[in-house]
Structures are given as C-alpha cells and as structure tokens.
Amino acid sequence: MTITETTTSTAARGQYRRPDAADRRTPGAGGAPGGRVSVAVYAEDLILQTGMIHQLRVRPEIELLPEAEADRAQVSLVVVDTVGEHTVQLLHRLQRNTSTRTGLVVGYFESGALQTMIECGVAAVLRRGEADQDRLVHLVRAMANGEGVLPGDLLGKLLDHVSSLQRTVLDPRGLTLSTLTAREAEMIRLVSEGCDTAEIARKTSYSERTVKNVLHEVATRLELRNRAHAVGYAMRHGLI
C-alpha cells in the first residue's frame, strides 16, 4: 500500500493534498505480516512523495499505509526541503498521536531548526541526499524499536544544546533533565556507594531526617521497593 496523504508546499494554501488514486494499493487480508513496520509518508509535494514511495514500496520490511489508516502507523515519515511553518504545524499534529513516532527526511536542516525538532518530538532525522533505501529502512526500523537516529553533526549540536540547557538554566535551580532533582540524584549516588543515612547526611550537609524524607519521596514517586531497587532504577535509566 502507499500513503495517500502529503503536505503541500503552496504557501498560500498550507493544506493537505490527496495523491492520485494510482498511488494506492489494496491492502491484503489480515494486514501486514509479522515483522513489517507500518509507515505513513507525508511529503511536501508530489515529486517528493513519489520518490519516497518508490524507495519504500519495494522493501518487504515496510508496510505503507493509505490515508484512512495513517493514524495507526508505527512510524510517520515527513519529507521536506526545509523545516518551514507548514512542516512545524504538521509535526505538532503528528506529535499528538502517541502511538506513532515521527522521522524527518529533509533537504536542508538549518541549525535553528534543532530546537523546533526537539519541541515537535521528532525521533530521527535523515538528510535527503543520504536517503537511499537501506538508510531509510534502517531509520524506520530504529524508530519502530524506540531508538533515535541523527546525523553525527546534529547529534553533536544536540548534545551541546542539552549541556548548555543544563548548565545555564537547570543547574542554578538545582534541577536536572532526569526525573530526579540534583539533590535526589546525589543521595541515590551515595546510596549506590554504600553510604548509610548518617554518612549521606554528613556528605550532603542535610539532616538525617531530610535524607530519609528525600529517599522516601523518590521511592514513592518511582514506585521503588527499597534503596537497592532505587539504585538499580537510577543506573538503568542513566540518572546517575
């Protein structure tokens, strides 16, 4: 099957267009075989749409969905020249569907679009010049597995952005990008080093009562059974 919904690049309209019926294929009974990833494609114009469909429709790993079924896609691929106003509107709309993950195939990615990408929940980015069949399938399968994919230079910029955010905005407020505050993370780290309540209180300059309350709050919020469970949870999720 092929997707039947694309975005239009006509600035005066900013609407969605329906591709010709020739792009459709009748779904087989019972849906896609196991192991295939269902994909909805949103393209900026007919040329981009046709090119993306041509790349993906021959791959057995991919099930391309028609417009009527686009909301059940595991992965939504948005194919554009640049990230403009209409693209952002589409990304925000797709973000509301929590059952799908969105990838962006873009011709030119301006550095200022990085923040927009993050806010719109884009899970993966691929430059159109690098979007051959194998890379597209890798992108789709990675997103279906809950992974993110970024070009190396964008990953570096993202890490710099996160580091700057932590340093300039969160650190002064005693916060972190994790589900733990800086104080909570420090206490869990000390627990992981074998410190008891008295030692944690001494090293953090808090009272033993405060230490107990903080650790109890973490355990309650994260539904953890004991301190060992709290340490294991924090380590598994990269919080310490």
CATH 1.10.10.10 placement within the chain? 172-236
**């709050």: which residue's tokens?**
217
Share of the chain above pLDDT 90, in %: 36
Taking residues 177-185, report their average pLDDT.
72
Domain topology for 6-151: Rossmann fold (3.40.50)
How confident is the model at residue 14, as a pLDDT? Answer: 37
CATH code: domain 172-236 is 1.10.10.10
Dist CA 1 CA 38 (whole Å): 10
Taking residues 218-222, report their average pLDDT.
83
Candidates 142, 17, 20, 12; CA nearest to 77 is: 142
Q: At 111, is the pLDDT very low, low, confident or very high (cuts 50, 70, 90)?
A: low
How confident is the model at residue 190, as a pLDDT? Answer: 86
Candidates 86, 113, 99; CA nearest to 143 is: 99
The reply to whether the predicted model has a pTM over 0.85 is: no
Beta strands 16-17; 6-7: pairing state:
antiparallel
Q: What is the chain's alpha carbon radius of gyration, rounded to the nearest angstrom?
A: 23
**């069949």: which residue's tokens?**
133
Least confident piece of the model among 20-29, 48-57, 116-125:
20-29
How confident is the model at residue 33, as a pLDDT? Answer: 43
Q: At 16, is the pLDDT very low, low, confident or very high (cuts 50, 70, 90)?
A: very low
How confident is the model at residue 238, as a pLDDT? Answer: 60
Q: Is the pLDDT of residue 11 over 50?
A: no
How confident is the model at residue 228, as a pLDDT? Answer: 73
Q: Is the pLDDT of residue 169 over 60?
A: no
Dist CA 149 CA 119 (whole Å): 16
3-state helix, strand, coil in the chain (%, to 5): 50, 15, 35
Q: At 183, is the pLDDT very low, low, confident or very high (cuts 50, 70, 90)?
A: confident
Q: Which two tokens stand for residue 231?
A: 């340490």
Q: Which two tokens stand for residue 228?
A: 């060992």
Contact criterion met (CB below 8 Å) for 64 and 53: yes
Tell me which of 229 and 214 has the higher pLDDT: 214
Least confident piece of the model among 18-32, 58-72, 110-124, 156-170:
18-32
Q: Which two tokens stand for residue 98?
A: 């929590």
Q: How distant, in Å, are the alpha carbons of 56, 195, 202, 213 from that of 184?
A: 47, 14, 15, 10
Taking residues 10-17, report their average pLDDT.
34
The DSSP secondary-structure symbol of 149 reads: B
How confident is the model at residue 15, as a pLDDT? Answer: 36
Q: How distant, in Å, are the alpha carbons of 71, 190, 233 from that of 94?
A: 9, 42, 31
Taking residues 63-84, report their average pLDDT.
92
CA 141 to chain centroid, in Å, comes to 13
